[in-house]
Amino acid sequence: MCCFTRPVQSVSNTNIFARPDKDGRQFLVYSMSVAAKEDVAMVLPLPVQKGATENSVHFIDLKGYPSFFTDLIKGFPPPPAAGDELLTRSVPASASATLQVVQVGDFEASFVPTTGDFSRLDERFRLPEDVWKSIPAYRDYGFAVFKLKPGTARIHPMAFSFPRANASSLFFPTVHIHDGKLYPRARFDHVLYCQSSPEEGYAVHGWAESSRPANAFMKMDLTKDLIDGGRHCYRKTLRGVLPNKDTVIPRA
């Protein structure tokens, strides 16, 4: 899951889609329902290639396809109860200029290349430096930051492509950080989706497979090439109190 820079009343119905992009990159689409009383930023830790800059993440506007995950569900029979294996993995301080802010649909988004670069963000949208010092596994990560408006809403999906530190695995940001702390277990309400090609062969055993190729249930003209229409999708549900870790699918 994401991390929030200010208190939120509730977060639920998290959906995440992952697919390999070209040149060792990865697509990620993220959606959730959130309630907050003030301006808040959502922070997604990402295992990026060493030397990534603020332009290394390519944000993709999905405001025109708010039903991305609603349509994705149509490809699957009712899911079995799940909660299986969660695998962990963990990824320099740079320039002094203010970080670039990109308008992506209803969001303002920035990519923070390293923990040291959070000081270049608006103070309202930072996490305290002590948070990252207390979680050394993230010292080499970059961070996608989305600025949210106050209120209660099912927000349209956030999407981007990032350069993976490990191009042989697919990464899902599912760790929870609350009140600046990383607890060993957390409550999950997540549905994960992915696609891969035969040559990549990610280990999706235990995941449900869609009954048809994606072009049978997705509006392909709205997906911005995030979905491969000729391939099936895979799904896994994480619900209940589980080990508080990111989720990684290695190659088989």
Chain CA centroid to CA 191, Å:
12
Q: Is residue 31 classed exposed, middle or buried when 0-12, 13-18 and 19+ CB atoms within 10 A define those classes?
A: buried
Tens digits of per-residue pLDDT, 218-248?
A: 999 999 999 999 999 999 999 999 998 999 9
pLDDT score recorded for residue 15: 94
Please state which architecture CATH assigns to domain 3-250.
Sandwich (2.60)
Percent of the chain with pLDDT over 70: 82
- Report how far residue 175's alpha carbon sits from residue 246's, in angstroms, rounded to the nearest whole number: 5
Q: Would you mind telling me the total number of residues written for the chain in this entry?
A: 252
Q: Answer whether 170's CB lies under 8 Å from 20's CB.
A: yes
Q: In which region does residue 5 sit, left (phi positive, over 0), alpha (psi from -120 to 50) or beta (all else)?
A: alpha
pTM of the model: 0.84
What is the residue-wise DSSP string for 220-245?
A: GGGSTT-S-TTS--EEEEEEEEEE--
Q: Is 95 exposed, middle or buried (0-12, 13-18, 19+ CB in 10 A)?
A: exposed
Q: For residue range 17-59, what is the model confidence (pLDDT) as tens digits?
A: 999 999 999 999 999 887 777 777 788 999 999 999 989 999 9
Distance CA 112, CA 54 (A): 6
